[in-house]
Chains A and B, each alone.
Chain A
């Protein structure tokens, strides 16, 4: 019990929880936008890798940190465009296309990294984003170090949560995206373009996913490793179901996840002698599975998810 309170009582723990949650926030938001429009994007795992690699490489080759972020987003958008072309325009299987995008984005990234840096034995480092202080807030006792000493990308993720919620629920664009994921016929009958909305959503969503990857190499760490994404994309796909496709709940889900992960890392440090480390490492995946099982039956899936659309079609 003491262990529990020690961990929960440290500002350091909460800061770590938010840090761990950040890539998931980007990923869940990205997946949420795609799925709200009716497109499952299983390319997410590979797009994470592509975002991590391109953002890092751009900075390594001399671009600024924000330039790297933009390039990562652009790389994600490109893979999103490919996924959208295959699934929205050609109407092909979203499952297969997504897996294909993941394999492609991963192998392109690994190949590019190996080709750009053939001779390195240990991964080279860049000067990554550093935590910024927000005047006033960051100096508060406990709350400051717990919540307000993060890198800029974390704050960007939080801004995106608000932005996505605003667009989704307060603008006609958001209305159209929700409608196209529910019944594309409703959108077409009102003179909007089903293809345009879906392609746009998948491209933007994929760009956000890539930012999740970029956070890994430009904020959480300062180098690119093979296998560093390690299933985070898949976890986001599970989390978006858990979050009922709502941005607020997505943030909450990602934070819960981050908190749990931060907790187990600290717990491991304390009782790691007794239980093998892999048990802790398994936790995020098992937790995702449990989350899926708990909510799947009640989940309010976008009704047109996975359904391709051809013009003039009735349902």
Chain B
């Protein structure tokens, strides 16, 4: 019996969704091994995780709160990856977006909330976008790989933020904690429901997903992004300005990550510190891949990843199993969805006829 691979002519939407679901599921199943290794019962752990993520209004609101930045960083990665622009720097762009929000929103401008909030958001978007435009320009001008540069910039940005919150931006009333001056009340994003942390950033994320979906399917820019991403040479031959399109993608991608930072500062924390993001930028990569780079899928994938983190935290508090289990699920999901993409390209056939030796 032999295994044969046949290239698939077209992978339907159902198959694509199936692969993503299976990837998440397989990743969850695989972590049963480390859970056992840590002396826990996988079934109990899964139960506690589900309860922790969805078991109550509060739990669910926490999951949504956690999903908010993930939707935005996920979209940031999805739009860039579609154009084959490997933005691995969403983490840094998130911080720069947050920084812009704090610079504008902590007293520099005095505006009513209806003006202040959009101003802060635009500033965060532009700052984050610029953070991605720079490596893209470097790639175009000097041919240096954007993957390594965006990765390295993440470290530079975090140190830069540390420097600012210990120095010029430090809040004199923070009792020595390295955190920035707080945002004005006018710059803060209103909560969605009383007593829950969910904020308007979630709506921003959902709208962004919708806009991106429209852009990809209906607009000339989306057409050009797809063409550039799928075949740069043919796009260039057909007259699509490849470099300019890439810069637009970079601005959108970095900008979305920057918005994630604005949301965390203006919607959750109220000030900037160097522990603002527990790796939302990196998780955004996983979210985008799990979503098959689809904007609408990103929302769902972000919910999944957020639920894993929130659920694992809660499970960890109850059982003592390390909450790094969530990182494991996320990493395994990425690898599983990658393996899954193999099945989108190939059909596996089992041949019963034996081969003459």
Direct A–B contact in complex, judged by CB atoms less than 8 Å apart: yes
Q: Which residues on A are within 8 Å of B, measured CB to CB? A: 42, 82, 86, 90-93, 95-97, 99-101, 103-104, 106-108, 110-111, 114-115, 118, 230-231, 234-235, 237-238, 241, 276, 278-279, 281-282, 285-286, 288-289, 292-293, 296-297, 299
How far, in angstroms, from A231 to B154 measured CA to CA in the complex? 9
Judge whether A292 and B144 touch: CB under 8 Å: yes
Judge whether B144 and A293 touch: CB under 8 Å: yes
How far, in angstroms, from A108 to B329 measured CA to CA in the complex? 10
Judge whether A103 and B151 touch: CB under 8 Å: no
B37 contacts which of A90, A115, A241, A299 (Cβ < 8 Å)?
A115
Judge whether A111 and B328 touch: CB under 8 Å: yes
Q: Counting CB contacts under 8 A, is B21 at the interface?
A: no
Complex: chain A residue closest to B328, CB-CB: A107
Contacts between the two chains (Cβ within 8 Å), count: 129
A103 contacts which of B145, B167, B282 (Cβ < 8 Å)?
B282
How far, in angstroms, from A183 to B38 measured CA to CA in the complex? 46
Given contacts A238-B152, A293-B144, contact A93 B338 (CB under 8 A): yes
A selection of 23 A-B contacts at a CB cut-off of 8 Å is A86-B339, A90-B339, A91-B342, A95-B147, A103-B331, A103-B334, A104-B331, A107-B328, A111-B327, A118-B320, A118-B322, A231-B154, A234-B155, A238-B148, A238-B152, A276-B163, A276-B166, A276-B167, A285-B153, A288-B152, A289-B153, A293-B138, A297-B143
Of A279, A281, A282, most B-chain CB atoms within 10 Å: A282
Q: Counting CB contacts under 8 A, is B223 at the interface?
A: no
Question: DSSP class of A's interface residues: helix, strand, loop or mixed?
Answer: helix
How far, in angstroms, from A153 to B86 measured CA to CA in the complex? 35
Within the complex, the shortest CB–CB distance from A268 to chain B, in Å, comes to: 13
CB-defined contacts of B330 to chain A, threshold 8 Å? 103, 107
Judge whether A99 and B88 touch: CB under 8 Å: yes
Complex: chain A residue closest to B286, CB-CB: A103
Judge whether A115 and B338 touch: CB under 8 Å: no
Complex: chain A residue closest to B40, CB-CB: A115
Q: Counting CB contacts under 8 A, is B332 at the interface?
A: yes
Of A103, A276, A281, most B-chain CB atoms within 10 Å: A103
Q: Mark B319-356, 1 if CB is under 8 A from A, else 0.
A: 01110110110111011001101100000000000000
Within the complex, the shortest CB–CB distance from B333 to chain A, in Å, comes to: 9
Given contacts A97-B338, A103-B286, A278-B162, contact A111 B324 (CB under 8 A): yes
Complex: chain A residue closest to B88, CB-CB: A99
Within the complex, the shortest CB–CB distance from A257 to chain B, in Å, comes to: 13
How far, in angstroms, from A1 to B152 measured CA to CA in the complex? 31
Complex: chain B residue closest to A291, CB-CB: B144
Judge whether B338 and A289 touch: CB under 8 Å: no
How far, in angstroms, from A299 to B144 measured CA to CA in the complex? 10
Q: Counting CB contacts under 8 A, is B289 at the interface?
A: yes
B335 contacts which of A97, A118, A297 (Cβ < 8 Å)?
A97
Of A101, A235, A285, most B-chain CB atoms within 10 Å: A285
Judge whether A296 and B143 touch: CB under 8 Å: yes
CB-defined contacts of A114 to chain B, threshold 8 Å? 322, 324
Residue count of chain B within 8 Å CB distance of chain A: 45
Q: Counting CB contacts under 8 A, is B241 at the interface?
A: no
How far, in angstroms, from A93 to B142 measured CA to CA in the complex? 24
Judge whether A100 and B335 touch: CB under 8 Å: yes
How far, in angstroms, from A235 to B331 measured CA to CA in the complex? 22
Supply 18 further A-B pairs (C-beta < 8 A) apart from A107-B331, A115-B38. Answer: A90-B342, A97-B335, A99-B88, A100-B331, A104-B331, A104-B332, A108-B331, A111-B38, A115-B34, A118-B320, A231-B151, A231-B152, A276-B167, A278-B163, A285-B153, A286-B156, A292-B145, A297-B142
Within the complex, the shortest CB–CB distance from B3 to chain A, in Å, comes to: 13
Given contacts A107-B328, A238-B148, contact A96 B163 (CB under 8 A): no
CB-defined contacts of A118 to chain B, threshold 8 Å? 320, 322
Q: Across chains A and B, which 6 residue pairs bring their CB atoms closest together, nearest first?
A: A107-B327, A103-B331, A114-B322, A296-B144, A278-B163, A104-B331
Q: Which of B94-150 contact A (CB under 8 A)?
A: 138, 142-145, 147-149
Given contacts A99-B285, A110-B327, contact A296 B167 (CB under 8 A): no
How far, in angstroms, from A218 to B273 measured CA to CA in the complex? 33
A282 contacts which of B156, B331, B335, B339 (Cβ < 8 Å)?
B156
Complex: chain A residue closest to B285, CB-CB: A99
How far, in angstroms, from A116 to B41 measured CA to CA in the complex? 17
How far, in angstroms, from A91 to B338 measured CA to CA in the complex? 10
Q: Which of B173-214 contact A (CB under 8 A)?
A: none
Judge whether B144 and A282 touch: CB under 8 Å: no
Q: Mark B265-307, 1 if CB is under 8 A from A, else 0.
A: 0000000000000000010011001000000000000000000
CB-defined contacts of A108 to chain B, threshold 8 Å? 34, 328, 331
CB-defined contacts of B159 to chain A, threshold 8 Å? 278, 281-282
How far, in angstroms, from A92 to B342 measured CA to CA in the complex? 7
Judge whether B152 and A111 touch: CB under 8 Å: no
Given contacts A103-B282, A111-B325, contact A92 B338 (CB under 8 A): yes
CB-defined contacts of B149 to chain A, threshold 8 Å? 289, 292
How far, in angstroms, from A282 to B157 measured CA to CA in the complex? 9
